[in-house]
């Protein structure tokens, strides 16, 4: 009789943290482990899954195809485990509106919020991705109680902030040593545009704008069409777009995100739970 296999949440947390940090050493510091101990946990998870989960290189780690497939499940398992521990026995009611940066709205955060809503059927959650002006209006009028966005674009000073890396996404068939380098950019309103171009110029790389869009969907479509390279959050990087030559393109700066919470919601149990879920997932 075959023994059932289970995935330990501690191992999944080690894996998710390593992917988010892009480095086993940084992940070890974040988790309070030694680097050898964390490496051992990652190897144990790979044995349980039956496939290598990380590409290991001197510059850091990145998920393999199997790692890309496991990552959303690992994040959901961890989020559900935390929510079940925190919310079991406490029914949440009311309404909470959440404003998300578009790049987060298409990631796994909305799924985590949907899981929270499923645990509390008497609560109503609304997730919005709007322009800066429309988001501020929604915040001021009370339609959204929480906004997770780049710090300069928040409608209120942040309660907490986090820095996340940007990674290069390479369109199909694009030569990363091209001169000039074809670049796919978000339109002028995006703060990433300036930092990406300054990074290329600081590295002495010539570039040309091959395509630009004011939406993530447009940028991803251009990458799939092989029009150039772009800077994305790791959660939005499709496996086929990964840059496997770390030295081919200069390292990108981090993005600072923050969460603003409407001052009239202190003590609201539902808003508290949503904020906790967002912080755990981000």
Distances (CA, A) of 96 to 99, 205, 225: 10, 46, 38
The reply to whether 138 and 16 lie within a common domain is no
Task: Answer whether residue 75 is part of any domain.
Answer: no
The reply to whether 60 and 136 lie within a common domain is no
Task: Answer whether residue 193 is part of any domain.
Answer: yes
- Residues of the chain with pLDDT > 70: what percent? 94
Whole-number Å distance between alpha carbons of 29 and 103: 27
**pLDDT class of 3 with cuts at 50, 70, 90:** very low
The reply to whether 59 and 97 lie within a common domain is no
Q: Average the pLDDT over 113-119 and give the result.
A: 83
The reply to whether 57 and 196 lie within a common domain is no
What's the pLDDT tens digit per position in 129-166? 998 899 999 999 999 999 999 999 999 999 999 988 89
pLDDT of 98 higher than 90: yes
The number of distinct structural domains making up the chain is 3
Chain-centre distance for alpha carbon 95: 25
Q: Can you give the pTM of this predicted structure?
A: 0.70
pLDDT of 30 higher than 90: no
Q: Range of 96's domain?
A: 90-162+257-281
Residue-level pLDDT at 127? 93
Task: Answer whether residue 121 is part of any domain.
Answer: yes
- Is residue 55 within 8 Å of 61, Cβ to Cβ? yes
The reply to whether 32 and 152 lie within a common domain is no
The reply to whether 173 and 136 lie within a common domain is no
What's the pLDDT tens digit per position in 235-281? 888 888 988 776 889 999 988 999 999 988 888 889 998 998 898 88
Q: Average the pLDDT over 105-120 and give the result.
A: 81
CATH number at residue 56: 1.10.10.10
Q: What is the mean pLDDT of the chain?
A: 88
The reply to whether 180 and 239 lie within a common domain is yes
CATH number at residue 215: 3.40.190.10
The reply to whether 155 and 121 lie within a common domain is yes
CB atoms within 10 A of CB 107: 21
The reply to whether 94 and 142 lie within a common domain is yes
Task: Answer whether residue 213 is part of any domain.
Answer: yes
Residue-level pLDDT at 1? 37
Residue 264 token pair: 């009239």
Task: Answer whether residue 71 is part of any domain.
Answer: no
The reply to whether 146 and 270 lie within a common domain is yes
Q: Which H helix or E strand runs over 240?
A: none
Whole-number Å distance between alpha carbons of 145 and 131: 16
The reply to whether 155 and 42 lie within a common domain is no
Residue-level pLDDT at 267? 83
What's the pLDDT tens digit per position in 155-207? 999 999 998 889 999 999 999 999 999 999 998 767 788 889 999 999 999 99
Q: Average the pLDDT over 105-117 and give the result.
A: 81
Task: Answer whether residue 70 is part of any domain.
Answer: no
The reply to whether 56 and 116 lie within a common domain is no
Q: Which H helix or E strand runs over 267?
A: none
Whole-number Å distance between alpha carbons of 174 and 18: 28
Task: Answer whether residue 128 is part of any domain.
Answer: yes
Task: Answer whether residue 190 is part of any domain.
Answer: yes
- Residue 212 burial by CB count (10 A; 0-12/13-18/19+): exposed, middle or buried? middle
- Is residue 42 within 8 Å of 24, Cβ to Cβ? yes
């Amino acid at each position: 009789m075959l023994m059932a296999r289970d995935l330990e949440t501690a191992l999944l947390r080690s894996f998710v943290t390593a992917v988010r940090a892009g480095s086993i050493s940084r992940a070890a510091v974040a988790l309070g482990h030694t680097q050898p101990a964390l490496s051992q946990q990652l190897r144990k998870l790979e044995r349980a899954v039956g496939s290598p989960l990380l590409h290991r290189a001197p510059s850091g780690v990145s998920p393999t195809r199997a790692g890309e497939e496991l990552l959303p499940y690992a994040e959901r398992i961890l989020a559900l485990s935390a929510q079940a521990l925190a919310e079991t026995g406490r029914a949440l009611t009311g309404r909470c509106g959440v404003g998300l940066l578009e790049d987060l709205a298409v990631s796994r955060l909305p799924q985590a919020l949907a899981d929270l809503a499923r645990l509390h059927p008497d609560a109503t959650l609304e997730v919005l991705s709007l322009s800066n002006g429309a988001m501020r209006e929604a915040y001021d009028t009370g339609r959204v109680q929480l906004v997770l966005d780049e710090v300069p674009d928040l409608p209120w000073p942040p309660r907490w902030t986090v820095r996340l890396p940007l990674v290069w996404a390479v369109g199909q068939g694009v030569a990363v040593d091209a001169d000039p380098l074809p670049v796919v950019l978000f339109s002028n309103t995006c703060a990433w545009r300036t930092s990406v171009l300054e990074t290329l110029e600081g590295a002495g790389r010539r570039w040309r704008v091959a395509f630009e869009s004011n939406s993530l969907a447009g940028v991803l479509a251009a990458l799939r069409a092989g029009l150039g390279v772009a800077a994305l959050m790791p959660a939005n990087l499709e496996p086929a777009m990964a840059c496997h030559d770390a030295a081919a393109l200069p390292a990108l700066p981090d993005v600072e995100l923050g969460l603003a919470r409407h001052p009239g919601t202190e003590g609201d149990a539902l808003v508290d739970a949503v904020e906790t879920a967002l912080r755990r997932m981000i």
